[in-house]
């Protein structure tokens, strides 16, 4: 299916690894020009090398987005590269940093800077270009914002705020033809998820337990499945969808717990 984004310009934060990398690659596959904002220089270089035949369509920017002035500089560089064109902005950067109630206000503030403030800043500095192109904004949030997890106040607050901003910005920008949506992933295997599993005493047993709690297929969502939905939402084929928070999670968040494998006698 042609998503009609060939030749368009996109910017994605945290676009060099995990879900962000999958979205980057899908955008490139559809013929989009992609600016990738990421602080991991090695991951940026590896991604560009894997897509060496698409080099002229990629702008890798090594940047620490926790510094607001860096967000402004990054968007300025993107707009210079694209001659002022911007059609898609994906706020993906963030990490579940484990800042909890006991961590204290200073740590909580740092978590908000790590997971939330740059999203607002990037939209602020890019909004005029997005208005001029009737573009699309996509926020990658998390099921943690809806379900809670325990021990992660900063991340949960940040992702909950992004869900709220999705609807706030959708209202603000509807008169300009700019659409704003969110995807809230649940259980997706990424490098960060793999690292977390590796710290546990029984990672395989833990993974099996998690899979059993996912009603559709008793498996985790793939990052490619997230990317497919993300790019569709950013494309003109989703032209009348805005203010939505979507959950591509195999029913993990919203389906009744009686359909998880612990009680579902028909699943194998």
pLDDT digits (tens, 9 = 90+) for 86-137: 999 999 999 999 999 999 999 999 999 999 999 999 999 999 999 999 999 9
In a domain, 205, yes or no: no
CA distances from 30 to 1, 4, 26, 213, 216 (A): 9, 8, 6, 34, 28
Beta bridge partners of 181: 138
Residue position matching structure tokens 């997890």: 149
Which sign, positive or negative, has the C-alpha torsion 223, 171, 145, 102?
A: positive
- pLDDT tens sequence across 22-67: 999 999 999 999 999 999 999 999 999 998 888 889 999 999 999 9
Is residue 56 one of the residues assigned to a domain? yes
Q: Is 155 a catalytic residue?
A: yes
Q: What pTM was estimated for this model as a whole?
A: 0.93
Does residue 46 fall inside a structural domain? yes
CATH number of the structural domain spanning residue 55: 3.40.50.720
Q: How many domains does the chain have?
A: 1
Backbone phi and psi for residue 113, each to the nearest 5 degrees, phi listed first: -65, -35
Active-site position among 9, 155, 193, 252: 155
- Assess contact for 137 and 89: CB atoms under 8 A: yes
> In DSSP terms, which residues pair with 20 in a beta bridge?
none
Domain annotation covers residue 218: no
In the chain, DSSP finds a helix count (H) and a strand count (E) of: 10, 7
Domain that holds residue 252: 9-187+223-258
The phi, psi pair for 26, rounded to 5°, reads: -70, -40
Is 78 within a domain?
Answer: yes
């Amino acid at each position: 299916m042609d998503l009609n984004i060939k030749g368009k310009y996109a910017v994605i934060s945290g676009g060099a690894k995990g879900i962000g990398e999958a979205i980057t690659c899908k955008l490139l596959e559809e013929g989009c020009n992609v600016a990738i904002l990421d602080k991991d220089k090695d991951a940026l270089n590896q991604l560009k090398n894997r897509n060496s035949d698409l080099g002229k369509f990629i702008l890798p920017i090594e940047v620490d987005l926790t510094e607001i002035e860096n967000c402004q500089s990054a968007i300025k560089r993107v707009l210079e590269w694209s001659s002022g064109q911007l059609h898609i902005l994906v706020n993906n950067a963030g990490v579940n940093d484990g800042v909890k109630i006991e961590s204290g206000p200073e740590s909580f503030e740092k978590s908000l800077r790590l997971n939330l403030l740059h999203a607002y800043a990037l939209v602020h500095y890019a909004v005029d270009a997005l208005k001029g192109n009737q573009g699309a904004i996509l926020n990658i949030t998390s099921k943690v914002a809806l379900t809670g997890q325990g021990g992660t106040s900063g991340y949960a607050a940040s992702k909950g705020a992004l869900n709220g901003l999705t609807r706030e910005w959708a209202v603000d920008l509807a008169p300009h033809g700019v659409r704003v949506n969110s995807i809230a992933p649940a259980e997706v295997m990424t490098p960060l998820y793999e690292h977390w599993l590796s710290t546990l005493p029984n990672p395989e047993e833990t993974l099996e337990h998690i899979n059993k709690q996912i009603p559709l297929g008793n498996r985790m969502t793939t990052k490619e499945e997230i990317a497919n939905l993300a790019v569709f939402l950013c494309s003109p084929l989703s032209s009348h969808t805005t203010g939505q928070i979507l959950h591509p999670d195999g029913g993990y968040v919203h389906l009744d717990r009686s359909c998880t494998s612990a009680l579902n006698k028909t699943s194998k």
